[in-house]
Amino acid sequence: MDRRRPSGQERNYLILDKFIERYRGRPGGLVRILFKAQELFGYLSPEVQTYVAEKTGLPASHIYGVATFYSRFITEPPGKYSIGVCTGTACYVKNAQAVLDRFQAALGVKEGETTPDGMFSLRTTRCVGACSLAPVVTVNDDMVGEVTPDKVADVIRRCREAEAEEETERVPERRRPERDERAAPPGP
Amino acid sequence: MYRSAADLNATKERLRPVLEERLQEGQLGRPTQVLVCTGVGCISAGSQEVLAALKRAIKDHGLDVTVTHTGCHGYCKMGPLVVVYPGGVFYRHVTPDEVPRLVQQHLVGGEPVQDLLYREPGRNPVLFARDVPFFRKQKRIVLANAGLINPENIDEYVAHDGYAALARVLAEYSPEEVIDVVTRSGLRGRGGAGFLTGKKWAFARAAEAHPKYIVCNADEGDPGAFMDRAILEGDPHAVLEGMLIAGYAVGASEGWIYVRAEYPLAVRRLEIAVRQARQAGLLGKNILGSKFDFDIDLCLGAGAFVCGEETALLRSAMGERGEPRPRPPYPAEAGLYGKPTIINNVETLANIPLILRRGWEWFAGIGTERSKGTKIFSIAGQINNTGLIEVPMGTSMRTIVYDIGGGVPAGRRLKAVQTGGPSGGCVPADLLDVPIDYESLADLGTIMGSGGLIVLDETNCMVDITKFYLTFAGEESCGQCTPCRVGIHRMVEILERITSGRAQEEDLRELEDLAHDVRETSLCGLGQTAPNVVLSTLRYFRSEYLAHIRDRRCPAGVCKPLLH
Ligand SMILES: Cc1cc2nc3c(=O)[nH]c(=O)nc-3n(C[C@H](O)[C@H](O)[C@H](O)COP(=O)(O)O)c2cc1C
Ligand code: FES
């Protein structure tokens, strides 16, 4: 899949530079920088980690240590639709395990993996704070409540429909803005 | 700009009619305001679409009705929620398709739409929010604004007495007097340990080093608890005001909110609140014409339970791995960058403006002898009305589970209520009448924690739940100290054996011994409290353990290897 073009990539680094300048050395600065990097590039690849190390002046081992300590950081490329099954307590007692099992079977991947076509990745998340709607599943930034095992197929179908819609909307000559660019703040 | 208390009053005067209408429930009249809940639960049920549809329909009809979005009412199960004023007519499960009817019939015609109202099986529909059983037994003071004001509009907060406590403090109180009021109120930390807030502030006030810092702990690590999230999303300025007052009291001019990234909406609302407070001059230099300077910034947590522990949180905020360190020194002496730092929980801080506005006597008049005020609980698991509630300290678990929570679904039997998350234990069904406060829960072998209640019924296996919590604690252990790293792992192994039918009775003794060892010798609160769940379930549900061991049977039918 053609996910990142050089121009988009360069822009992302420029945005990241500004962010690093603003947050370097402040409380929580590194974590915020890494979040921004993850938002821009989708995940924290070794290259991105090295870049952050150079720009912040922190040792690469330190960046790696922080990136791997926290469960919200991902160091592998995610799928286009990142499905998260909440395994917090409220969801667990409402049988989140069965929901996870159903997703694994339906997508043919295990927790922490991505489908070969790069479309879906499956992971477990910590409590997302919507415990009254347990079991809860997140699809990228959206939250879906009361996802019992028999609603799993529905969640997957809706992703595929969104994908098909995007396919038909895509105008061949005009480049569709990439997700990162849409999320980027307006330029100077 | 708010340059003085008079400016705050001017806004209050201007918006008073709008706010007062929302406060007077129970009288129908020509509809003038519609409030739509945009808490996380309602959003995931489609409240943004309902909001848009309402705005459109009201415009199409040319009605003089305002539409406002609010934070969470706590009754997420019923979302999307829509409330119409005057009166407070309470609609639940409103979909965009129902909007035209709601507008036509109620907003234009003045007739409430009966089938969108709350209704108990076999009873008449309930018209007003205040009469819905879920709300009737609550005492919402910290959550008063959640569901009532637009959290993205500072003026609405101001109109509802927001920043009035700060104005009074800056004009009339010395820092020592503020600390005195907070101490006398009896407010104890809502983040878990229940330490007296005023006392903590006094330590930081007395510390010599400068600068000092105020940190708001918004990491909300207990999986299954979401009260802090509701406050941050529904009434963010209350937290900012609490931090400002804390800053004035201890002599700090910088505050940080450590908020978990799993809560993107809370992060966004906080960012908006901080920006608006800065623009209004309520953060920055010479606040409200005084000599007090204070600013607040955010710091994102990235998903590690242990980072909720205060020393780990500080390390994480300083850009390191969030690993705890032994105390003392306590953060009040040596915290952020080694300087005196107050760390308070979100709910603790949200209580502060109330106490300073309404007086410590008022606050101390609520609750039990040693636990004052209210407590917010999230109720989840096997219960009909999952959601968020606020009750006076000393309310019994039975009131919470049955009167407010509506009992266990499908007529199943309640088994226990787990409290305090991974650091807590459980209250068995036959002890539900105990009034809940810090002390009574400790006597029962559990803790208040942050207020997450997980209701368990006969379909939940207590051994399996224990294994779940310990596995979580083991995964979240930072691994620095041996008792926690190795001890928890060993306990999980024993529980594995029990739930798969490979255990002997001696294993129970070893489990119990290990639990005591880990509790006594771990470095930080994570390891010290993780064994609680083991000891608590062994105390109340030993027979269930024995059924797994002796009869190779899981009474709840959960443990797969034991299902024949
Ligand atoms: C493992 C562990 C996790 C904790 N998680 C939280 C948390 O998520 N939120 C919180 O406010 N306090 C948490 N605490 C308690 C904090 O260390 C600290 O006591 C609290 O933030 C102090 O604020 P308070 O006095 O207002 O309660 C945790 C403690 C431990 C040992
Ligand atoms: S436990 Fe799943 S959302 Fe809280």
Q: Considering the domain B374-457 in this protein, what is its CATH number?
A: 3.10.20.600
Q: Do B262 and A94 touch (CB under 8 A)?
A: no
Are B100 and B136 in contact, with CB atoms under 8 Å apart?
A: no
pLDDT at residue A186 greater than cutoff 70: no
Q: Is A96 in the pocket of ligand 2 (CB under 6 A)?
A: no
Q: Is A128 in the pocket of ligand 2 (CB under 6 A)?
A: yes
* Residue A7: per-residue pLDDT: 67
* Residue B178: per-residue pLDDT: 98
Q: Where is pLDDT greater, at A66 or A148?
A: A148
Compare CB distances from A133 to B76, B222, B225 and report the shortest one's residue. Answer: B76
- Rg, chain B, Cα only: 24
Determine the distance separating the centroid of ligand 1 and the alpha carbon of B313, expressed in angstroms.
9
* Residue B344: per-residue pLDDT: 98
CA-closest candidate to residue B262, choices B221, B292, B294, B297:
B221
Q: Is A16 in the pocket of ligand 2 (CB under 6 A)?
A: no
The residue to mutate among A85, A95, A97, A131, having the most atoms of ligand 2 within 8 angstroms of its beta carbon, is A131
CA–CA gap between residue B527 and residue B520 (Å, rounded) = 9
| Contacts of B138 by beta carbon, 8 Å cutoff, 6+ apart | B389, B390, B391, B404
Determine the distance separating the centroid of ligand 2 and the alpha carbon of B129, expressed in angstroms.
26
Q: Do A143 and B264 touch (CB under 8 A)?
A: no
Where helices occur in B194-318 by DSSP H, the ranges are 197-206, 227-234, 236-250, 264-279, 310-317
CA–CA gap between residue B181 and residue B202 (Å, rounded) = 11
B29 CA: distance to closest CA in chain A (Å): 33
CA-closest candidate to residue B78, choices B405, B411, B385, B379:
B385
Q: Which residues on chain B are in Cβ contact (under 8 Å) with A131?
A: 224-226, 378, 380, 386, 452
pLDDT digits (tens, 9 = 90+) for A166-178: 888 765 544 444 4
Give the rounded percent of residues in chain A with a pLDDT score beyond 70.
Answer: 86
Q: Is A86 in the pocket of ligand 2 (CB under 6 A)?
A: yes
CA–CA gap between residue A30 and residue A58 (Å, rounded) = 10
CA–CA gap between residue B279 and residue B136 (Å, rounded) = 38
Sheet containing strand B387-392, edge to edge, reads B387-392, B374-381, B452-457, B414-419, B426-428
> Is there a shared CATH topology between the B374-457 domain and the B462-562 domain?
no
CATH 1.10.10.60 at B462-562, yes or no: no
Ligand 1 atom nearest the C-alpha of B313 is: 17
CA–CA gap between residue B188 and residue B200 (Å, rounded) = 10
Q: Is B224 in the pocket of ligand 2 (CB under 6 A)?
A: yes
Compare CB distances from A71 to B258, B303, B460 and report the shortest one's residue. Answer: B303
CA–CA gap between residue B232 and residue B263 (Å, rounded) = 10
For residue A127, give both structure tokens. Answer: 């409590």
Q: Do B226 and A70 touch (CB under 8 A)?
A: no
Provide the CATH topology of domain B154-364.
Answer: Rossmann fold (3.40.50)
Q: Do B319 and A70 touch (CB under 8 A)?
A: no
The residue to mutate among A86, A143, A147, having the most atoms of ligand 2 within 8 angstroms of its beta carbon, is A86
Determine the distance separating the centroid of ligand 1 and the alpha carbon of B216, expressed in angstroms.
10
Q: Which residues on chain A are in Cβ contact (under 8 Å) with B222?
A: 89, 127
Q: Do B321 and A144 touch (CB under 8 A)?
A: no
| Exposure of B129 in the CB half-sphere (CA atoms within 13 A) | 25
Q: Is A159 in the pocket of ligand 2 (CB under 6 A)?
A: no
| Structure ipTM over 0.85, yes or no | yes
Nearest CA to ligand 1 atom 6: B308
Q: DSSP readout, B76-107?
A: GGGPSPEEEETBTEEE-S--GGGHHHHIIIII
Q: Do A132 and B262 touch (CB under 8 A)?
A: no
Parse chain B into domains and list their residue ranges.
22-134, 154-364, 374-457, 462-562
Q: Which residues on chain A are in Cβ contact (under 8 Å) with B320?
A: 66
Give the rounded percent of residues in chain B with a pLDDT score beyond 90.
Answer: 89
* Residue A182: per-residue pLDDT: 39
A165 CA: distance to closest CA in chain B (Å): 20
Give the rounded percent of residues in chain A with a pLDDT score beyond 90.
Answer: 60
CA-closest candidate to residue B94, choices B71, B118, B73:
B118
Q: Which residues line ligand 1 (CB under 6 A)?
A: B 189-193, 195, 217, 219-221, 306, 308-310, 343-345, 348, 450, 524-526
* Residue B349: per-residue pLDDT: 98
Chain-centroid distance of CA B266 in Å reads 12
Q: Do B262 and A88 touch (CB under 8 A)?
A: no
Are B488 and B527 in contact, with CB atoms under 8 Å apart?
A: yes
Q: Which residues of B373-408 are buried (b: 16+ CB within 10 A; e: fewer)?
A: bbbbbbbbbbbbbbbbbbbbbbbbbbbbbbbbbbbb
> Beta partners for B388?
B378
Nearest CA to ligand 2 atom 1: A88
Compare CB distances from A71 to B224, B304, B465 and report the shortest one's residue. Answer: B304
What pTM, to 2 d.p., does this model score?
Answer: 0.92
| Exposure of B35 in the CB half-sphere (CA atoms within 13 A) | 28
Residue length of chain A: 188
Residue in A closest to B261 by C-alpha: A72
Helices and strands in chain A, H and E counts:
8, 4
Integer CA distances (angstroms), B217 to A128, B46, B228, B309, B347, in order: 17, 30, 9, 9, 9
Chain-centroid distance of CA B17 in Å reads 30
Q: DSSP readout, B471-537?
A: HHHHHH--S-SHIIIIIHHHHHHHHHHHHTT---THHHHHHHHHHHHHHHH-SSHHHHHTTHHHHHH
Which class would CATH give B22-134?
alpha beta
Q: Is A89 in the pocket of ligand 2 (CB under 6 A)?
A: yes
B383 CA: distance to closest CA in chain A (Å): 10
Are B24 and B58 in contact, with CB atoms under 8 Å apart?
A: no
Q: Any idea which ligand is nearest the CA of B308?
A: 1
CA-closest candidate to residue B466, choices B536, B382, B419, B558:
B536
B211 CA: distance to closest CA in chain A (Å): 14
Q: Which residues of B330-348 are buried (b: 16+ CB within 10 A; e: fewer)?
A: bbbbbbbeebbbbbbbbbb
CA–CA gap between residue B364 and residue B386 (Å, rounded) = 29
Q: Any idea which ligand is nearest the CA of B351?
A: 1
Determine the distance separating the centroid of ligand 1 and the alpha carbon of B409, expressed in angstroms.
32
CA-closest candidate to residue A33, choices A9, A10, A11, A49:
A49
CA-closest candidate to residue A93, choices B244, B457, B221, B106:
B457
* Residue B229: per-residue pLDDT: 94
Nearest CA to ligand 1 atom 25: B189
Complete domains list, chain A, with CATH? 10-69 (no CATH), 81-167 (3.40.30.10)
Q: Do A29 and B319 touch (CB under 8 A)?
A: yes
CA dihedral angle for residue B532, residue B331, residue B165, residue B387, rounded to 10 degrees: -30
The ranges of chain B with pLDDT < 50 are none
Are B401 and B383 in contact, with CB atoms under 8 Å apart?
A: yes
Residue whose token pair is 């068995």:
B428
* Residue A93: per-residue pLDDT: 94
Are B465 and B495 in contact, with CB atoms under 8 Å apart?
A: no
pLDDT at residue A165 greater than cutoff 70: yes
- Going A83 to A88 to A90 to A94, the CA torsion angle's sign is positive
CA-closest candidate to residue B49, choices B101, B90, B96:
B96
pLDDT at residue A14 greater than cutoff 50: yes
CB atoms within 10 A of CB B54: 22
CA–CA gap between residue B485 and residue B473 (Å, rounded) = 9
